[in-house]
Structures are given as structure tokens and as C-alpha cells.
Amino acid sequence: MLTHDFCGNYAPHELLPRGARLSSSCARALVQELSVPSSSRLWKFTSWDCIDYFCYFAHAVAAPPPACWIAVAHRNHVSALGSLVFEGEQGAHELFELLQEPAHAATQLASITKYWGFDGWLVNVECDIRSPAHRRALLALVRALQALCTVVWYDAVTLEGRLEWQNELNECNEAFFLASDMFFSNYAWTCASLVRTQQRATHLRRSQDVFMGIDVFGRGTYGGGGFNTPETLALVHMHGLSCAIFAPGWTHECATDTGATEDSSEARERVFWIEIGKRVPQRASILRAALPFSTNFDLGWGRGTWAEGLLKSPDFYVDLEHRQSVLPRASEQPGVISYCSNIVWDGGYSLRIESLNASGSPESIHLFKAALRFRPGEVLHIRLVYEDSSAQLCLRLGFACQGALVPLHLVPATQTSEIGFPSALATERCLLASKVESREGQVHRWEDDDLDEPTGRDSAAVALASTTVTWRTCEFAVHYSAVVRAPWDGSLNADATLSLDDVDVNVAARTDVNDRLGDAFAARPPRIHVGLLEVVLDSSR
């Protein structure tokens, strides 16, 4: 679980009504401010495949997540939560008003989630509750709310009404946990309290529902937060429990407080989530139930909008709700995967893939986790749009099929290839047909070829150069016509499904340029830009 709490929350671009867009002038001002070291108004999160829940936390009684965060979370199959926070005397007064009619309050809070389209609430009660009647009403409110939406109970007030953070799951807060879907422990836990929590959660058979808090700012948290957060997370997972990362905007807020540049905060963010990604399983981004799948690799903020390789508008934009795409997991190798705002097919960015292998031997680069159950007779349509300006690399797209990579070769339209799956799968065949079309034209690109991140310069002052870029559109139709033999008696089973697990690209030097690649590599590694990836399933046959 990721708990937001960034710079006071509700930044200008987050206050827009659902479906509204920030004007180009406001977007330009916001992006310009991002180039100032003292600015940290825009936390740019892209590592959605590392988390299951996104909680928008603000110090307000009821803080629904902004429409932009709800949209991008759901696009990545992540649940979006708001926060209910009752702090001090004022918070106690607001809470006691709700507790007059707990069932009615639960209905109203659930109606907010339904209206705005998010999934539930984190309930954080940080005030004393002296009245036994109020304590009973609070438990009734939590139960009633949990019946209508997702509820996460935060470890603060105890069952006896005392504001005493337990930093573990114990008899003082277990009743609230049992009335909720999940439990969020305060951050000041120790190894001893972690073990006690593990034992109690295991006894309740709800280990995965217990989230141990980690404050990235390190305020009393085990391990000190910051870049030690991944190690703390690994320790929690070793005990079979879940993690709740609080205030990950530390990568931006602390970087700017010390006078670091925006590039530094971006680098800190990248390193932080790469290390987190090493310690958590990647969540599937391509799901059968969510097909068709499409990504143009747009980050949701930037400068310039392209359509089919042509620059349509040079304006700045900040638009997470409509424009941030599903993005691949960050690579540990800097430069292997990056985002380019110069050569773009659709939206504001393309995915730049560089070969770091000077020998020209193939490199496999992981993009997405998939969870596709592919049945006989079904056809999987795949469309890939890419650009290879260096003409030095060849690109292969592949799905990992139950652990074995099944390549989809980019072959001329006149060719058809049959690819057999590993014999261990006992499949007969999978027929692959591909069609390649090329489109060449004059397109605009930013003058500085290495300027990959939008800056605060006025768009009119940025020189545009005209250049020729060839985009290739490759379309595949994968026909799964398998007949599987049962391993126990050899009988035929025409209903067997095939599991497609991972989406990878394989980059290698072209055979005709491999000999001369070394000299050119020293000046600049060869690059390929991927502008669009679409996956559509046809199950009508």
C-alpha cells in the first residue's frame, strides 16, 4: 500500500473536477516551477506495478482522492482509497457528530466513494474517546462502512478509547481490525512487535491483511526510512506481512529542501522504486479481463502532443487523469529504458530502448507482467509501432509462456512463421502471422536530441527542427490452435488454456551492421523508440 501525503496535498492540478483538463498556460506555469530547485508541487509517480493500494492521505476529516489519481490508479488495476482523519478536539467533535447515527454516517461515506468512483477509506482516529457509548458507536460505524466499501483501520486509538499507538496488532486494536478489511500499523514498530504481529495475524489467518507502516521520512520508523525503506520492506515480507509505505514524496520534498535539482529528485525517485521493485512481485498490467490493452508510454505531464508521429500542439500539459499510460517497470540499468519527448508517435512520449551491449549480442528487456489465459480457437491481435532511426538494431517482441519465452518476430508481411511451444507444454502448435507497414514523413522534433524531459522554457522559445523519422507499424495475429495431451493417459484435450505471463523485447544488432557497431557505439548506443503497444483478444471464433 502506498500512502500519499505530499506537500499539503490537493495541488492545483489535483483540484480539477472529474473529466476537466488543466489549461496550457497553467500547465506551463506548473512545469516551469518544476525546474526551480525549491519547488516540489508535482510528485510524479509511475511505479504502479509495485503497489496494490493507493491511499490519498490529507489532514482533513474526509479526504477523497482527486479524480486524476483515481483514474490512473484504476487504469493500473490498483485500488484507490481516501482518508478519514479525526485529530485533536476539532476532530473529536466531528467524529462524535458522525457517531450519533453510525449507520447513516456509513451510508453517506460510502455514497461519496460511489459518486467519485474510488474504493474505500483509511480510518485514522487520533483523539481520545472517553464515552463507552461513543466507543461502541465507532465500532458499529466501522462495521457498517466495511459492509459497503473497503475499510483500512489505522493503529491509533485503542478499543478502550485511549490515543495510544500500539505499533503492532494486539488485543487493544484487534476488534477494529476484525471489523475492517485491513490493518495499518503505526511506524514505530520493533522486531519484537513485528514478531508478535506476525503470530497474531497468522492465528487469525489474515497475515496479508496486516500492513506494517514505514515512514519514508524516517520519523521513528524502523530502519530510518529514506533509501533504507526497501530493506525494511523486505524484513516485513520475510514475516509474511504486508507493507504500507507512507509519504514516498520524500524523494522530491527532501531533494528540493537541500537545494538539489529536479533531475536529482527524479533520480532519487527512480532509485527508490527500482530497489522497492526488487523486493516485491510485479503485479500484472495486462489482464484478460481488462483487454483490450493499449499504452503509448505517456507519463501524464510534459510538453507537446503528437498524433501518428506529427506534432499537433507544442503546449505544456499536466494531465494524469486522461494521459498517463500504463508504464513498464523501471530498469536497473540506467539508459536501457527511458522516456523520450523528442521522437513521439502518440501523446507526449515514446519508450526509448538503448542497447548497452557493444558486442551486438541480443539483450532481453522486460516490459510488462501479463496474466492472459489464452484458449484454443482464440486469436490474440498485437500491434506494435516503433522507430529505429539508427537502423542498427532489430527488435523482437515476446511473451513468456508458462516460463518459456515465445518470440514474435517482426517479419515481412509476405512471410508466415510457425512457432512451436516447448514440448513440456505438450502443445501442438501456435500459428503466428505478422504484417509490417512503414510510414515515413517530415515530423517536428525538439532541436536538442538529448532533451528528454520537458523543461520550464516557454514553448515559443524552443526551436523545432524538421527531420525524417520512419515509424513502422507491425501487426501480429497469434492463433492458438493447440491440442493438448493429458499427461496421465495421453488423451486429447481441446479445451486446454495457455498462460501468457510476461511481455519482453529482445534487442540485437542487425547482422549487416554488427561488424561496424563497435565504433559507432562509443559515440552513442543505438536506440529504438516504441510509440505504441496494443493487445486485443478475439474470442468470437
Query: Which pLDDT tens digit goes with each residue over 151-179?
Result: 999 999 999 999 999 999 999 999 999 99
Please give the domain boundaries of the chain with CATH numbers for all domains: 2-7+49-283 (3.20.20.80), 287-538 (2.60.120.260)
Q: Is the dihedral of CA 101, 103, 105, 107 positive or negative?
A: negative
Looking only at the bridges linking them, the beta strands covering 416-419 and 79-87 are unpaired
Model confidence at 258: pLDDT above 60 = no
Handedness of CA 420, 422, 423, 426 (dihedral sign): negative
Q: What's the distance, Cα to Cα, between the start and end of the chain in Å?
A: 40
Question: Do the beta carbons of residue 498 and residue 374 sit within 8 Å?
Answer: yes
Quick check: bond before 328 cis, omega within 30? no
Q: Is a pLDDT exceeding 70 seen at residue 426?
A: no
Read off the pLDDT of each residue in 81-89 and give the average, rounded to a whole number: 95
Cα–Cα distance for residue pair 309/327, rounded to 1 Å: 20
- Residue 378: pLDDT band (50, 70, 90) is confident
Q: What is the pLDDT of residues 35-49, one digit of tens each?
A: 433 334 567 789 999
Cell of 115: 459518486
pLDDT above 70 covers a percentage of the chain that reads 69
Share of the chain above pLDDT 90, in %: 47
Length of the chain: 541
The helices-and-strands tally (H runs, E runs) of the chain is: 12, 26
pLDDT at residue 486 is higher than 60:
no
Helix (H) or strand (E) holding 10: none
Q: Quote the pTM value.
A: 0.85
Q: What does pLDDT average to over the chain?
A: 79
d(CA 358, CA 526): 9
